[in-house]
Chain A
Amino acid sequence: MSWAGPDNFPATSLADNLDKKLLVILRDGRKIIGILRSFDQFANVVLEGALERITVGELYCDLPLGLYIIRGENVVLIGELDLEREELPSFMVRVSATEIKQAQKAEKDATELKGTMRKRMEFLDLD
């Protein structure tokens, strides 16, 4: 984000997003939603009233986090949530924290199983 200097137009600044509800996607895949209170040139951000939204298939859960500072190097994308639109498709079901954790574990085990099975097939080299 260019604060000063000859090339100022059009500057990419998060100032327009201050005090807005934003979705921040992190490099580890987490989705954090909160109100932007502060930012800097490294895309470090301060989110107030932050929550982590976990989605597994049709299930989702919001975990409250409070006041968060996110280091810019972990930020992938910062999206402005349009308050007039639905944040999630209507078929999605809200569940409790324990349920979503179980669903996450099940999904992780399924992908691991797929991975090991694929490795076994590749070893056999069935063409």
Chain B
Amino acid sequence: MLFFSYFKELVGKEVIVELKNDLAIKGILHSVDQYLNIKLENTQVVDDTKYPHMLSVKNCFIRGSVVRYVQLPPDGVDVDILHDATRREARGG
């Protein structure tokens, strides 16, 4: 539940989601759920010449199971709060 809560804090921020099929999509995080499925808005494919079919897609739903990385803005992390939450989760879990 920790990462779910963490992503909820990032809603509204711009992220780049890199998928396991090497597709990278930049967009604003609209929502996330318990499976870490992601909904992005104002999407833009990072290498759009390679993926012409995504031209008119501006909002998308990404299944959590296909995400490789989520690149965050450098000021998106409060490392201390994250550390505390991780320790609490490790203790309780």
Is the beta-carbon distance between B34 and A7 smaller than 8 angstroms? yes
Is the beta-carbon distance between B55 and A86 smaller than 8 angstroms? yes
Which residues does chain A contribute within 8 Å of B33, judged by CB atoms?
1-2, 11-12
Is the beta-carbon distance between B61 and A92 smaller than 8 angstroms? no
- How big is chain A's contact interface, by range? 20 to 34
Is the beta-carbon distance between A76 and B63 smaller than 8 angstroms? yes
Is the beta-carbon distance between B52 and A77 smaller than 8 angstroms? no
Which residues does chain B contribute within 8 Å of A17, judged by CB atoms?
61
> In the complex, A5 Cα to B35 Cα: how many Å?
14
The interface centre, meaning the residue of B19, B23, B60 with most chain A CB atoms within 10 A of its CB, is B60
Q: Which B7-22 residues sit within 8 Å CB-CB of chain A?
A: 8, 11, 19-21
Which residues does chain A contribute within 8 Å of B37, judged by CB atoms?
1, 12, 43
Is the beta-carbon distance between A80 and B58 smaller than 8 angstroms? yes
Q: Given known contacts A1-B37, A10-B31, A11-B31, is B60 in contact with A79 (CB within 8 Å)?
A: yes
> Which of B11, B34, B60 meets A77, CB within 8 Å?
B60
Binds B, one of A23-31, A106-114, A117-125: A23-31
Given contact pairs A12-B37, A23-B53, A79-B61, enumerate 5 new A-B contacts (beta carbons under 8 Å): A12-B30, A23-B54, A76-B21, A77-B23, A82-B58
Q: List 12 A-B contacts (CB under 8 A).
A: A12-B38, A12-B61, A27-B66, A73-B65, A75-B66, A76-B19, A76-B20, A76-B63, A77-B66, A81-B56, A81-B57, A82-B56
